[in-house]
């Protein structure tokens, strides 16, 4: 038998269910074109870590969605060229990719490359979408990591996002 103390919890649960039902009804009737932003030919997408893995998949997906201007950053030149050839291939009509070898942990290199990209694209504020994807995964127990590995992980996975974000506005 439920006590009086359980009543607020039950009411909160019922309220959550009602909110979810109402949200589902609204989503059902609102067209996708109003729920999602469309990629236009004028949009520029900058993807860090675009030489392989998720970065490459992001580049391919944006090309599939109709993005015509992709800026790809990575420290892996061969991977960048491969990603570029995939997205500029005949399958994705009219996609243009600019590739730059950038170590996102080097603040000055990020700033210089951003300036170069702005010049190459003839734009003062060039990024519509920024995908800060570059990352380091150690794959070890934290107690087994060397100091240099921990520092590099933070430089790439956290601090570099500030340099890239600041330089692309």
CB 101 within 8 A of CB 77: yes
pTM exceeds 0.85: no
**The token pair that represents 1 in the structure block:** 């038998």
Return the pLDDT at 7: 67
| Residue 113, number of CB atoms within 10 A of its CB | 20
Return the pLDDT at 68: 92
| Residue 30 Cα distances to 16, 25, 37, 38, 84, angstroms | 21, 9, 14, 15, 36
Domains observed in the chain? 4-34 (no CATH), 38-167 (3.40.50.720)
Beta bridge partners of 69: 44, 96
**pLDDT tens readout for residues 65-120:** 889 999 999 999 999 999 999 999 878 888 999 999 999 999 999 999 999 999 99
């Amino acid at each position: 038998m439920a006590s009086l103390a359980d009543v607020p919890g039950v009411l909160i649960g019922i309220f959550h269910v009602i909110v979810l039902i109402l949200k589902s009804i609204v989503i059902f009737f609102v067209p996708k074109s109003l729920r999602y932003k469309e990629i236009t030919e004028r949009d520029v997408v900058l993807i860090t870590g675009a030489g392989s893995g998720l970065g490459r998949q992001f580049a391919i997906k944006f090309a599939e969605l109709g993005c015509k201007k992709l800026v790809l950053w990575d420290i892996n030149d061969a991977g960048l060229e491969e990603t570029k050839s995939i997205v500029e291939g005949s399958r994705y009509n009219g996609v243009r990719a600019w590739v730059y070898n950038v170590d996102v942990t080097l603040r000055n290199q990020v700033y210089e490359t951003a300036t170069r990209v702005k010049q190459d694209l003839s734009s003062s504020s060039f990024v519509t979408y920024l995908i800060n994807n570059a990352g380091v995964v150690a794959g070890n127990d934290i107690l087994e990591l060397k100091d240099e590995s921990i520092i590099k992980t933070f430089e790439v996975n956290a601090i570099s996002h500030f340099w890239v974000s600041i330089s692309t506005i």
